[in-house]
Structure 1
Amino acid sequence: MTAPVLFQEKVLSHQGNYGIATLNQPAKLNSLSLEMCQLLTDQLTRWAEDPAIAFVIFEGAGEKAFCAGGDLHQLYASMQENAGKPAADNAYAAHFFDVEYRLDYQIHTYPKPIICWGHGVVMGGGMGLMAGASHRVVSDTSRLAMPEVTIGLFPDVGGSWELARLPRRLGRFLAATGAILNASDALFTGMADYCVRHADWSAVSADLEQIVWNPDAGKRALEQQIHEVLNTQSAAATLEVGPLQMHYAFLSMLCGTRDITTFYRDIAALADHEDAWLARAAQTMLKGAPLSVVLGLILQESARHLSLADVFKLEYNAALHCCAHGQLQEGIRALLIDKDKTPRWQPATIEQVTRDDVQAILASPWQDAARSPLASLG
């Protein structure tokens, strides 16, 4: 059986090697499984400790996607098996999110440069892999989003941290609507650093192999050389203005509304907008879980005042409670299992979401928070 993640080491032309990690589930748009997260964690640890490895590249097999998110089928089965039980009792969910979030944190804090080639679809768990890379590269085919509202979750994998740091609080709109960004808007928001056309990636890879690496010069000097290669091949100047940038002033005003119910209603009013991108964003929110909208917004506010490690710990609590609450199971059922696309959300409306609902989901599933698997993170 073909491995779900492929690892290679290639020789730099002057000195040293570099590693390539290829997500290898193209039929599933390279969706992340627990096994894939563990394989990536273990290999990144080995490469971090290997003095001969200069940098690492993340890629996705196939033409369609770097990574479309998490593989949710086993998570769904675990929720069925643990229905009605406390959040901490779902051992699979606790282990899955523990491994995935630790991997994402490892990427954010990695001692060597990581270049993420985010071509095609980059959503959910794929955004978690890309966000912490030192060099985040999109292509002319890239489509980025955090669409967890559609399955009853929230922008996790550090999404609260990343979205909270976008200009003019635009992360609030992206969390509530799961709106899709093209390459131009990914660069505009700072969610990507470079754009290289898909057809030019092989040439970029060849140029990266020509880097003259001096291990004694430090990480910053190597990152600068990588930057020069990617910047030379940049296609950013040829991209058309994206829809988020086009509506920047309007969205900035919209996202300035602090009251969540008013914010929700303002977006809902765009469902019949003449602009297809705005209309689709509003329609996606209206089909999504109201509790997920509220969670995404409150987590972003919390993330503005927390360390990255503490953001992951808070998201971990919320993710486990979402598994136990039932709405994540219902969202996956409607989208991926029965595929009827008619989830029955509870609470059913934004007005029915209470402060107690939110506080219960953000609380630690353990009476002693130190028992959390992520307690030692950071």
Structure 2
Amino acid sequence: MHDSTLLETVKIEERDCPGGMKLGVITLDAPKSLHALTLEMIRAIDGALLAWADDGQIACVVLQSSTDKAFCAGGDVRSLRTAVFDAPGVVPNPQALAFFADEYRLDHRIHTYVKPLLVWGGGIVMGGGLGLMAGASHKVVTESTRIAMPEITIGLFPDVGGSWFLGRMPGRTGLFLGLTGAAMNAADALFVGLGDYFLQQEARAMVLDALALAQWQADPQANHQQLDRLLRGLSSPSSLLPESPVRANYDAIATLTQAPTLSEVVAAIAAYDGESAWLQKAAHSLARGAPSSAALVWAMRARTRHLSLAQVFQLELIVAVQCCAHPDFAEGVRALLIDKDNAPQWRPSSLSELDDTYLNEYFQAPWAQHPLADLA
């Protein structure tokens, strides 16, 4: 068995399987930050996937973390904020551009990976962590899974392909989740398409052992079917699933988001006075969130409706680097993660102050040649 550590925060391992095949295992190992992604981690993961795609001995890939508490809590937004201040007025910020471009390239690779790719999504899965998980061919959720795209709290928007997978959720649930950053459990993930299999967190080691003993073939499609059969055979009964707040409140979400304008939808959610604590919390998050982020969620929903996956990532890159050039991102990270006063001063402070001219700035490409132009 070949075992090598490329970085302290990402471990790359190949496990021998019967018949001369191998299992590729990538383990995020930065527990203090809940495995938040740095640029170096992104490049290590992408490098392994790229190499294994061309390695005939690698039959299946597993992406996991070293702890049960979290798979990945998102991107390293603290460092991004520092980079913005280190290069004031520079658009695109070179560090932000490198981070987002490489992250989206990795996420796109996961979505289009030919070989079976299993992501073990136990614990916290937020932001950039969901970018790693959403496109995987086989997504495992557990009783500890807690998923969210809470970018509205930091003046960003649901990126990492969020514009793609939110728009493909049932009804208008993707719009609601994007606007509110509401948390989801395993049952929610299965309902909206962010999870495929429900297993107990304690079964992870057993699953990895079973994968290492499986009779893999050279045919990727046969291996996809093999992994599916294995995971279905080890899945926990649905009776162990928690109640899904998204499914339980599906009709209420449809009613709250049915208006034709963003301002009306935001007002309806904010005015919610029902008994659901989950909806109450979601409404509170939206009310405290960045108006610019809400506007971007609404605009991206419309602009990406008929785009390909590659085009979605290309547009998200433009918007992400522009978010770093506008004040709300730095202010949101300050209020939530640095000073932790939870009192961000958004600019603009309300949707009524946000006009089309300002919003359109987020969609202006700050380059002549798109860094992700080669995605297909």
In structure 2, which of residues 19, 34, 43 is the aligned counterpart of residue 38 of structure 1? 43
What amino acid maps onto 1:342 in structure 2? A
CA contact (8 A) 2:60 2:115 kept: yes
Q: Which amino acid aligns with 2:357?
A: D
Whether contact under 8 Å (2:257, 2:269) holds in the other structure is no
CA-to-aligned-CA distance 1:39-94 (integer Å, 9 cap, x gap): 111111111111110010000111210000001122111111223x1422x11111
What letter matches 1:221 in structure 2? A
**Equivalent pair of 1:124/1:157 in contact (CA under 8 Å):** yes
Separation in 2, partners of 1:162, 1:202: 29
Q: Does 1:72 align with 2:77?
A: yes
CA distance in 1, matches of 2:206, 2:96: 41
* TM-score w.r.t. length of structure 1: 0.95
Q: List alignment gaps of at least 5 residues for structure 1.
A: none
Aligned length: 370
Is the Cα contact below 8 Å between 1:213 and 1:222 reproduced in 2? yes
Q: 2:162 aligns with which of 154, 159, 162?
A: 159
Identity fraction in percent: 42
Structure 2 Cα separation of the partners of residues 69 and 323 of structure 1: 16
User: For residues 220 and 43 of structure 1, what CA distance do their matches in structure 2 show?
Assistant: 20
Counterpart for residue 87 of structure 1? 91
Distance 2:277 2:128 in 1: 26
Which letter does structure 1 place at the counterpart of 2:137?
A: S
Q: What is the aligned counterpart of 1:99 among 94, 99, 102?
A: 102
1:228-243 aligned within 5 A: 228-237=229-238, 238-243=240-245
Rounded Cα–Cα distance in structure 1 between residues aligned with 2:303 and 2:331:
26
- How far 1:13 moved relative to its partner? 2.9
Tell me the equivalent position of 1:375. Answer: 373
Tell me the residue number matched to 1:279.
280
- Paired residues of 2:110 and 2:135 also in contact (CA < 8 A): yes
1:206-231, Cα deviation, whole Å (9 max, x unpaired): 2222321221xx32221111111111
- Alpha-carbon contact 2:23-2:211 (below 8 Å) kept: no
Q: TM-score, normalised by structure 2?
A: 0.95
Which amino acid in the other structure matches residue 126 of structure 1? G
2:68/2:201 contact within 8 Å kept: no
Deviates more, 1:340-349 or 1:229-238: 229-238
Runs of 4+ in 1 over 4 A off after TM superposition: none
Letter in 2 for 1:264: V
Alpha-carbon distance between aligned partners in 2 of 1:252 and 1:233, rounded to the nearest angstrom: 35
Unaligned runs of 5+ in 2: none
The CA distance in 2 between the partners of 1:289 and 1:18, in whole Å, is 43
Q: Deviations along 1:93-124, whole A, 9 cap, x unmatched?
A: 11111111111111111121100000000000
Post-superposition CA distance 1:247-287 (Å, at most 9, x none): 112212333323111000111112x5432111111111111
- CA distance in structure 2 between the aligned counterparts of 1:192 and 1:257, rounded to whole angstroms: 29
Contact 1:18 1:56 survives alignment (8 Å): yes
In structure 2, distance between residues paired with 1:76 and 1:57: 31
Secondary structure of 1:167's aligned partner: coil
Question: Structure 1 residue 236: deviation in Å?
Answer: 4.9
SS at match of 1:87: coil
Q: 1:229 corresponds to which letter in structure 2?
A: L
C-alpha distance in 2 between matches for 1:98 and 1:372: 10
**Cα RMSD after superposing both structures:** 1.4
The whole-number CA distance in structure 2 between the counterparts of 1:329 and 1:175 is: 20
The 3-state SS of whatever aligns with 1:115 is strand
